[in-house]
Amino acid sequence: MTPIGVFDSGFGGLTILRDLRRALPGADFLYLGDNARAPYGSRSFELVYRFTLQAVKYLFGQGCPLVILACNTASAKALRSIQQRDLASIDPERRVLGVIRPTVEAIADSTTTGSVGLFGTPGTVASHSYDIEIEKHAPGTRVFSHACPMWVPLVENSEADGDGADYFVKKDVDALFDPHPDIDTLILGCTHYPLLLDKIRKYVPTGVTILSQGDIVAKSLIDYLQRHPEMDARISRGGTVRYLTTESADKFDGLASEFMGEKVKATAIRLE
Ligand code: DGL
């Protein structure tokens, strides 16, 4: 089997996987969540790079010809080095793609005020990856970023529906929108954040468009596979999805099953 690999620090990449499966129902997928070491958002550049490279090598070892980093933090801190430095020595025929570039390409079509808000992990915000990419693709757009360090831990600890989540979501939404009422487009620049979408919608001012990264990344992958038929032909088409986690499988299965709307039975692995 030669599935599409989908990697995230934990549960967040499931929000991307769900849309990828909808877009490519015939393809095989292999999901890997590094739940034991999540969150990545407050970790150093060096660590996120090292952990992400381990995950990519593992997924290549499982037969994936293509790996999607379904994680903004890994896309911001590790993607470029892996693409430009590591791939040539690991296997120049395989590919690793991220989520930031396709998201940025969708922004230009969405904003009319030219003011865009970004929620992300501390690592993604500090990397300025979105600012740099937006300046290339939609020059002149103003990006107001705000880091939400509590949101990923809330999701990873199954607290996304709790009252504590309301407190932190409201606090961060107000911190971004109170000083910048002209923001008309909001990027959820962390794949965990759609798991808090109901609460985010509750506090974000009406009329603001919230960009859904799953949908954007799925469309971009279809486009990529059309432009690269040699890669398209290498992906096996059994319509299966398998799950790997670095935490205990039981812990993963509960929340993942709830989110994917079907029974998930993960296999625990070690990354090193
Ligand atoms: N879901 C990830 C992202 O998109 C990582 C969050 C984290 O581990 O802090 O940034």
Which atom of ligand 1 is nearest the CA belonging to 190?
4
How far is residue 198's CA from residue 212's CA, in Å, rounded to a whole number?
13
Residue 148 bears catalytic tag: no
190 Cα to the center of ligand 1, angstroms: 5
Q: Sheet holding 66-69: strands in order across? A: 95-97, 66-69, 4-8, 29-33, 241-245, 267-268
Tell which residue, 107, 136, 134, 137, has the closest CA to residue 210.
107
| pLDDT value at residue 258 | 83
- Which residue's entry shows tokens 């999540």? 38
Catalytic residue among 20, 71, 195, 196: 71
Of 67, 96, 190, 218, the active-site residue reads 190
For ligand 1, atom 2: residue with the closest CA: 71
Residue 191 in contact with ligand 1 by CB distance below 6 A: yes
Look up 190 and say whether it is catalytic: yes
Rounded to two decimals, the pTM is: 0.95
What average pLDDT does the segment 155-166 reach? 93
39 upstream amide cis, omega within 30 of 0: yes
Q: What is the pLDDT of residues 27-47, one digit of tens each?
A: 999 999 999 999 999 999 999
Percent of residues, the chain, with pLDDT higher than 90: 95
pLDDT confidence band for 108 (50 / 70 / 90): confident
The whole-number average pLDDT for the span 58-63 is: 98
229 Cα–ligand 1 center, Å: 30
Task: Compute the distance from residue 175 Cα to the ligand 1 centre, in Å.
Answer: 20
Establish whether residue 107 lines the binding site of ligand 1, counting it when its CB lies within 6 angstroms of any ligand atom: no
Q: Decide: helix, strand or coil at residue 188.
A: strand
pLDDT at 212 over 90: no
Tell me the CA distances in angstroms from 69 to 40, 142, 155, 193, one per residue in order. 13, 26, 19, 16
pLDDT at position 92, please? Answer: 95
- 42 CA closest ligand 1 atom index: 9
What CA–CA distance (Å, rounded) separates 254 from 84? 37
Residue 12 confidence class, pLDDT cut points 50, 70, 90: very high
Ligand 1 neighbourhood includes 6 CB (under 6 angstroms): no
- The CB of 79 under 6 Å from ligand 1? The reply is no
Give the pLDDT confidence of 129-141 residue by residue, as tens digits.
Answer: 999 999 999 999 9
Q: Is 65 in the pocket of ligand 1 (CB under 6 A)?
A: no
Atom number, ligand 1, closest to the C-alpha of residue 38: 8
- Ligand 1 atom at shortest distance from the alpha carbon of 120: 10
Nearest by Cα to 70 from 150, 4, 155: 4
Question: How far is the CA of 77 from the CAs of 57, 72, 121, in angstroms?
Answer: 17, 8, 12
Report the SS3 class of residue 267: strand
Task: Please work out whether the CB of residue 98 comes within 6 Å of at least one atom of ligand 1.
Answer: no
- Ligand 1 near 68 CB (within 6 A): no
Q: What is the pLDDT of residue 109?
A: 83
